[in-house]
Amino acid sequence: MKTLLLLRHAKSSWKHSELADHDRPLNKRGKWTAPLMGALLLDEDLIPDLILCSSAVRAHTTALLVAKACAYAGEIKRIRKLYLAEAQTYVEVLRQVAEKHARVLVVGHNPGLEALIEALTGEAMAMPTSALAQVELSLKRWSDLDTNTDCKLVNVWRPKDLG
């Protein structure tokens, strides 16, 4: 059994219009909600074994803030392919994860995260910024993951529901 945690990046800033989309930082609200989701991971005993994130500044910053708040001490792997990725790209990246990792957190973007949740679980789920989904996968090896894998959406947390 594997656990997949899917986190949409925290709210980003549009203040600096000269920045490319990939380089946009978090705004004040994003800097507040990301640690909140990290604390939730700690409270729910869902600290990941591995964190994968999009190479976008907003996703990487979210991953860093979440990691600090949940006392994650491992590596955060930035993966360019996850920037604005489609569901199948997430699956391809996850299939490369080492078997020793039982719980993986992926920090990414919509619409790909919503599409991935629906492809895996059959459930359409709105994922606003900083939303976190917990998906249980009936797998022994990440390399066996595909959209036909038996998966269950266990929970979805949104910052507005926690405050």
Q: CA 76 to CA 159: how far, in whole Å?
A: 22
CB 70 within 8 A of CB 42: yes
CB 9 within 8 A of CB 129: yes
Provide CATH code, domain 2-162. 3.40.50.1240
Question: What is the residue-level pLDDT of the chain in tens, covering all 163 positions?
Answer: 999 999 999 999 988 888 899 999 999 999 999 999 999 999 999 999 999 999 999 999 999 999 999 999 999 999 999 999 999 999 999 999 999 999 999 999 999 999 999 999 999 999 999 999 999 999 999 999 998 888 999 999 999 888 6
From edge to edge, which strands make up the β-sheet containing 132-137?
A: 76-79, 50-54, 103-108, 2-8, 132-137, 151-157
Q: CA 5 to CA 107: how far, in whole Å?
A: 8
pTM of the model as a whole: 0.96
What residue spans define the domains of the chain?
2-162
